[in-house]
Amino acid sequence: MTIKDIAQRAGYAVGTVSRVLNGHPDVSDEARAKILAVVAETGFQPNDNARHLKQRESSSIAVIVKGARNLLFAGILEEVQSRVRAAGRAAAVYYLDEDDDEVEQAVRVCRELKPLGILFLGGNQNNFADRFERVTCPCVLVTTRADTMGFQNLSSVSTDDAEGAAQAIRRLIEAGHRRIGVIGGHFCAGCGRGGANTSQTRFFGCRRGFLEAGVPFDEELQFQAARFSMPGGYEAANALLERCPDLTALFAMSDVMAIGALRAIRDRGLRVPEDISLIGYDGIEQAGYCVPRLATVRQRSGRLARRSVEILLRQAAGGGGAVHEIVPFQLLPGESIRDLNE
């Protein structure tokens, strides 16, 4: 079943069918009605390969998600999809593995889908720096900053991760904690050229939090790198508590890691927050269902989503240069921090 069959049955040329299918105005009501009737009757769906092959620009927004299992992104995505739909556009979602190259994918999407614009949920700054020049449509990078890269067609909407991490540390210090362990992602001195992948940024924020409060932070002892996963957090917490049995609090740079840490603490026969206080990062739904509820630095996923879509649609409509927005985070108190001053 192709557009040709539809044309034949309806008694029009394929061009006319195409115009009806794409909602062009220059078709008579009669033709439209007849053709739509045949389409409905046959259940015809046009072949997207053929369509995209020829089309100059589709009316879709592409969303490239780095990590199908990332719950923060899942939350943002849901909101993005409903906002894109509300704006009368379709969202085409592409899920990538953590270590796939999102910019490479974007180049491909530009060529094959020809979207109005691309939204990146997560991204590696090096990939952007190295290859983003090859993507030409308007883009917004969400949760990671892009202001230092200076691309005219790359905006960003993100959380101030350094400040978020700093405040997490401050919060623990205010509660009277002095020996605090930190669980974060892997990063190397060189991998955030220009100063920023997420793990590194949050790490620097931590360090600043300690420094400003005059609380010592021995990176060798008090920091443990791990994967962003529950087992990662579990093992890291174990390693830290083994190495520094006198820690009274942990900061995990993602809620998922924090959930792993929570379990590790319990398995060592300790309790949260009575023995060890714990704070996470991201503010995923899950954090509110932990026992105890997790204190966390909440990225405002709804607002990140809303602003990203607004900015992207404006840029797609020809609205000027790149914009870089910071969305304020919230410190959720949870039930996992003990106040030692009380």
Partner DNA sequence: CTGAAAGCGCTTACAG
The DSSP letter of residue 19 is H
Applying CB under 8 A, does 341 fall inside the site for a copy of itself?
Answer: no
Q: Is 285 in the site for a copy of itself (CB under 8 A)?
A: yes
* 19 near DNA, rule: CB under 7 A: yes
The answer to whether residue 108 forms part of the interface with a copy of itself (CB under 8 A) is yes
Q: φ, ψ for residue 14 (rounded to 5)?
A: -60, -35
Is residue 317 involved in binding DNA (CB under 7 A)? no
Residues in the chain: 342
**Is residue 296 within 8 Å of 233, Cβ to Cβ?**
no
The answer to whether the CB of 285 falls within 8 A of the CB of 76 is no
300 and 332 Cβ atoms separated by less than 8 Å:
no
Count of residues that interact with a copy of itself, criterion CB under 8 A? 30
Residue from the set 8, 9, 36, 51 that interacts with DNA by CB under 7 A: 51
164 or 273: CB nearest a copy of itself: 273
Nearer to DNA, 31 or 213 (CB): 31
* CB nearer to DNA: pick between 51 and 268: 51
Q: Which residues pair with 63 in a beta bridge?
A: 93, 119
Q: Which string of x and - marks every residue 188-227 that binds DNA (by CB under 7 A)?
A: ----------------------------------------
Q: Which residues pair with 167 in a beta bridge?
A: none
Q: Does 93 bind a copy of itself (CB under 8 A)?
A: yes
> Which of 42, 47, 136, 330: binder of a copy of itself (CB under 8 A)?
47
Helix (H) or strand (E) holding 297: strand 295-298
CB 44 within 8 A of CB 6: yes
CA separation for the pair 7, 285 (Å, rounded): 50
Give contact residues for a copy of itself (rule: CB under 8 A).
Answer: 45, 47-50, 52-53, 68-69, 74, 77, 93, 95, 107-108, 111-112, 230, 234, 259-260, 262-263, 266, 285-286, 288-291
